[in-house]
Amino acid sequence: MGEHAIEAVGLHRSYRSRTGWLRPQRREVHAVAGVDLAVRHGELFGLLGPNGAGKTTTIKLLNTLLIPTGGEARICGFDVVRQTREVRRRIGYVFGGDRGLYDRLSARDNLRYFAELYGVPGREQKRRIAELFALVRLTGREDDRVESYSRGMRQRLHIARGLLHRPRVLFLDEPSIGVDPVAARELRQTVAELAATGTTVLLTTHYMAEADELCGRIAVIAGGRLQALGTPAELRHHADGRRVLEVQAYGVTDGQLAAIRARPGVREVSLAVHGAAQLLGVQSDAGVDVQADVLRELSGVRLGRVTARQPTLEDAYVAIVNRAAEPTPLVGGVPA
Amino acid sequence: MIAVGALLHVKQLSRSPFEIAIALFVPVVQATLAVYLFRAGGEPDRLLEAAVGAGLMGVWSTVLFGSGGAIQSQRWQGTLEMIMLAPRSPALVLLPVTLATGITGTYAMLATLAWGRLLYGIPLDFAHPVAFPVAVAGCIAGLGMFGLLLASSFVLLRHANALANMLEYPIWLVSGMLVPVTALPGWTGPVAAVLPTTWGARAVHEAAAGGPVWPALGGCLAISLACLAVGWVLMTYVERRARVAATLALA
Ligand SMILES: Nc1ncnc2c1ncn2[C@@H]1O[C@H](COP(=O)(O)OP(=O)(O)OP(=O)(O)O)[C@@H](O)[C@H]1O
Ligand SMILES: [Mg+2]
């Protein structure tokens, strides 16, 4: 076995879709356009990127659900196209959301079925399933039907299912989507424990704090290509020499955003909505104080708190993604 | 693994209120239809045969819609990807699904008989009381394997429902579930001879009305095994195609 749990070289995947019925037009989307990855055994690796960046597609190429249109990938040294079964024996796949389970069966029946499918020996099944129910804190609810489960409970059941056959490599595609903060913290703990015991984890998420806390290394992907790769500390350097001004506002217009973006010294502008309020983030060169300029552009808009702070991983992420999207910069590319 | 899988899929299938409603209602309609068709034909003594034929129609439609529908609903549920991800031959993964639909189909047959008895007083005296359940079981196993062949098209195509609708009635007719095969035009003969349903239907008919059960049942199983073999190869190919075409998931 090589030293890498996950290896990808020039990975490429395009989707063909037809639009139009009478005059069908073929359109080709390059969802993943040449990705190179090398993840070591036991690493907890994050894959970040905006919606449609190609994260899920990358994961499905690595876990054998899709066949690449170009390039190669290996899991624990086994080729994902030619040695599919060897790969499948070693991987677990968990995706976010409430699909992917048999709703009308009990949680235990779900696990029993997948244990059978994934080749967990009959003698071990009972013990393994009980172990996993304890791990994901569903003990006591084993015999309830999945349709009666809350979203967070389903998500945890998903994770238990993904771990049944003790995979060496675990793919987690937005596992914390729709999970409450307390459950999300437990989930992070579970993932960290798994990685500590030697499981390689490839995680995608839209929560920067989660990636920052968990991941040893992070790759930022946009437009099907890697835009940046490094430890969270290294990625933060992408926002080095910047300052961040945050303004809580009510009713900022697109025109005002454009005007702010055009001020000298301003590097990135993002706008996120928090309930009734908007949160305007302005990244600028550290040497320039843009606060006065920004507030002048916003004259007439009702404002809340105004704070200046050091850049975070999220700011670095915004900088990376916006740079990738040039010459048409994104507005509000940060999920709230 | 096949047994556990089939059992759990039966559970999953039989717990849908919609399916239960259909399963309760359809056999009544079929029993009624069968009875009136044969009464009109002036053959009241063949009522039992009619009821058995109607029951088989039930089995057939459950397998046809079931094996396709089960694949389709698993695509919607997102479980299709999860089961295809198992380190096993794709045919082995899906066989429990199609067998499960064959088993729920048994229910359709028994329900039709029960309704026939209840509503129309069809006497349930079978010519071969022992052979009858064996023939039914064989027929279901056969349909499960045949279903696998059909299921492969559903794995590949996202909109294969149309295919199932198209197939249902011709296959009923051709395999002689209600109308004896001999009454159909000559060209259907060879077609009927290669469908396992023809032989399965004949085995069940003969068990009910008297006649040599075992050769027909043997024929049904032999053809089914051939279906299994073809389905196996086809499924392996189709799984790969589906991964190229990205049709395992909804989007
Ligand atoms: N089955 C499909 N057929 C056609 N196009 C697809 C298919 N799946 C994904 N795409 C396209 O491929 C691109 C990448 O999609 P992908 O799902 O990999 O993004 P993602 O990074 O996972 O996004 P998100 O954060 O929204 O989950 C998108 O443009 C999407 O529209
Ligand atoms: Mg995704």
Identify the band that residue B58 occupies on the pLDDT scale cut at 50, 70 and 90.
Answer: low
- Asked if the domains at A4-236 and A241-310 fall in one CATH topology, the answer is no
**Three-state secondary-structure class, residue B179:** coil
**Domain ranges within chain A, ordered by starting residue:** 4-236, 241-310
Q: pLDDT value at position B59?
A: 67
Q: pLDDT value at position B251?
A: 47
- The tens digit of pLDDT for each residue in B197-214 reads 667 767 776 776 666 767
The CATH number for A241-310, chosen from 3.30.70.260, 3.40.50.720, 2.60.120.10, 2.20.28.10, is 3.30.70.260
Q: pLDDT value at position A142?
A: 83
Q: What angle do CA B74, A135, A189 make, to 5 degrees?
A: 105
CA–CA distance, B199 with B168 (Å, rounded to integer)? 17
Neighbours of ion ligand 2 (CB under 5 A): A 56
pLDDT at B134 over 50: yes
CA–CA distance, A55 with A219 (Å, rounded to integer)? 10
Q: pLDDT value at position B33?
A: 67
**Three-state secondary-structure class, residue A334:** coil
Q: pLDDT value at position B123?
A: 66
B250–chain A nearest CA distance, Å:
11
Section A22-31 average pLDDT: 76
Q: pLDDT value at position A336?
A: 36
pLDDT at B60 over 70: no
Sign of CA dihedral B63, B68, B74, B77: negative
pLDDT at A47 over 90: yes
pTM reported for the whole predicted model:
0.80
Q: How many CA atoms lie within 13 A of B57 on its CB side?
A: 27
Contact criterion met (CB below 8 Å) for A136 and A159: yes
Section B61-73 average pLDDT: 73
ipTM score = 0.75
State CA B27 to chain mean position distance: 14
Q: How many residues does chain B have?
A: 251
Identify the band that residue A335 occupies on the pLDDT scale cut at 50, 70 and 90.
Answer: very low
Q: pLDDT value at position A293?
A: 85
Rounded to a whole number, what is the largest CA-CA distance in chain B?
Answer: 57
- The tens digit of pLDDT for each residue in A272-289 reads 888 888 888 888 887 778
Asked if A67 lies within 8 A of B243 by C-beta distance, the reply is: yes
Question: Which of A14, A18, A27, A29 to mutate for ligand 1's pocket (most ligand atoms within 8 Å of CB)?
Answer: A29
From the list B8, B78, B240, the residue facing A113 with the nearest CB is B8
Contact criterion met (CB below 8 Å) for B196 and B177: no
**What is the average pLDDT score of chain A?**
85
- Find all residues with CB under 8 Å of A145, minimum gap 6, and list them: A103, A104, A105, A106
> How many Å from the N-terminal Cα to the C-terminal Cα in chain B?
30
Q: pLDDT value at position B124?
A: 64
| Chain A CB contacts of B4 below 8 Å | 112-113, 116
- What ranges in chain A are assigned the alpha helix state H? 55-62, 84-90, 107-117, 122-135, 151-163, 181-196, 208-214, 232-236, 254-261, 291-297, 313-325
For residue B7, the tally of other CB atoms under 10 A from its CB is 17
Q: Is domain A4-236 given the CATH code 3.40.50.300 in the classification?
A: yes
Q: A185 phi and psi, to 5 degrees? A: -65, -40
Q: pLDDT value at position B131?
A: 74
Identify the band that residue B140 occupies on the pLDDT scale cut at 50, 70 and 90.
Answer: confident
pLDDT at A324 over 80: no
pLDDT at B180 over 60: no
Question: Which whole-number Å values give the CA distances from A99 to A221, B10, B73, B234, in the listed order?
Answer: 25, 20, 11, 28
| Chain B CB contacts of A88 below 8 Å | 85-87
Section B164-174 average pLDDT: 61
Which residue in the block uniquely carries the two structure tokens 């990938």?
A: A73
Please state, for a pLDDT cut of 70, what percent of chain A lies above it. 94
Q: A273 phi and psi, to 5 degrees? A: -105, 125
